[in-house]
């Protein structure tokens, strides 16, 4: 959607703040022995407490407030009852509906002490998305963002998953434009002032995945860990205005 009034922007900022508060609590709950299903339960409880609805439950055939993807499950992980272990990488993707506005954002956390290699994977994943945000300004193109994702990952010996994309958002969870994890500068859709988008990518060693038997979990074909970060924000003339927080 395109933000067309200060009132709309104020409401969307409120949505981003509430969504960030909830995701922060979910991240803080991660520890050895806790299960994804416990975090899913907490997410639903917090949505009720804040008086909001989970946006992911509007997706056809998806009955959860969160996607919780651990290690070589790169994204779209269905919450399960497998306890977290020391050294796991946990991606929590989450969103709400607040006064008709949808949110969607994601962060990666390490459980306890993580390896130097996994710390680098997290750092590169965040750097890729932050670099994408830096060029999400009026007049640029979606390809400018996409190019930042892939080029940042490649610089550090990683890549991005080609099959998944960032997207527009607003009165529904997904809309135009699509923002792929690879592309050339100056290509794709032109970014417009006030455009609300989700900037995300997944970083791993190889761009090779398969879908698990539950039809949701996106798994690395090589059993490799991945990181994922996503911001919700507004395209403006001089900067990308983030509506969701860093953690």
pLDDT along the chain (247 residues), means of 10: 97 98 98 98 98 97 97 98 98 98 98 97 98 98 98 98 97 96 97 98 98 97 98 97 94
For 160, the enclosing helix (H) or strand (E) is: strand 159-160
Determine the Cα angle at 176 with ends 126 and 181, to 5°.
Answer: 35
CA distance linking residue 232 with residue 17, whole number of Å: 11
CA distance linking residue 84 with residue 16, whole number of Å: 28
Phi first, then psi, for residue 67 (nearest 5°) are -115, 125
The angle, 0 to 180 degrees and rounded to 10, between the axes of the packed helices 6-28 and 36-50 is 140
CA distance linking residue 158 with residue 173, whole number of Å: 29
Q: Would you state the pLDDT for residue 185?
A: 97
Q: Would you state the pLDDT for residue 221?
A: 98
Burial code of 208-241, b = ≥16 C-beta within 10 A, e = fewer?
ebeeeeeebbbbbeeebbbbbbbbbbbbbeeebb
Residue closest to 38 by CA, chosen among 68, 75, 61, 72:
68
Under DSSP, the state recorded for 230 is E
Radius of gyration (Cα) for the chain, nearest Å? 17
pTM: 0.96
CA distance linking residue 168 with residue 114, whole number of Å: 34
CA distance linking residue 151 with residue 154, whole number of Å: 5
Q: Would you state the pLDDT for residue 247?
A: 86
CA distance linking residue 187 with residue 108, whole number of Å: 29
Residue closest to 179 by CA, chosen among 160, 165, 191:
165
* C-alpha distances out from residue 20 to 13, 131, 148, 171, 182, Å: 10, 21, 25, 18, 27
- Please report, to the nearest 10 degrees, the dihedral formed by the alpha carbons of residues 93, 125, 148, 4 taken in order: 30
Q: Would you state the pLDDT for residue 145?
A: 98
Peptide bond preceding 86 in cis form (omega within 30 of 0): no
CA distance linking residue 186 with residue 80, whole number of Å: 41
What number of residues does the chain have?
A: 247
């Amino acid at each position: 959607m395109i933000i067309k009034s200060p009132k709309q922007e104020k409401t969307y900022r409120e949505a981003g703040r509430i969504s960030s508060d909830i995701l922060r609590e979910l991240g803080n709950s991660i520890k050895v022995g806790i299960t994804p299903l416990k975090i899913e339960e907490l997410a639903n409880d917090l949505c009720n407490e804040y008086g909001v609805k989970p946006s992911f439950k509007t997706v056809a055939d998806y009955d959860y407030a969160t996607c919780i993807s651990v290690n070589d499950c790169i994204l779209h992980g269905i919450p399960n009852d497998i306890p977290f272990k020391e050294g796991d990488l946990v991606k929590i993707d989450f969103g709400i509906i607040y006064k008709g506005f949808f949110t969607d954002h994601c962060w990666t956390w390490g459980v306890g002490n993580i390896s130097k290699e996994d710390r680098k994977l997290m750092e590169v994943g965040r750097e890729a998305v932050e670099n994408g945000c830096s060029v999400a300004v009026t007049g640029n193109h979606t390809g400018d963002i996409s190019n930042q994702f892939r080029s940042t990952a490649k610089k550090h010996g990683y890549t991005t998953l080609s099959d998944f994309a960032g997207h527009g958002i607003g009165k529904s969870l997904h809309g135009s434009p699509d923002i792929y994890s690879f592309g050339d500068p100056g290509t794709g859709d032109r970014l417009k002032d006030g455009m609300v988008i989700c900037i995300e990518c997944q970083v791993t060693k190889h761009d090779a995945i398969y879908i698990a038997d539950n039809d949701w979990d996106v798994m690395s074909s090589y059993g490799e860990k991945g990181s994922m970060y996503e911001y919700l924000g507004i395209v403006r003339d001089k900067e990308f205005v983030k509506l969701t927080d860093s953690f």
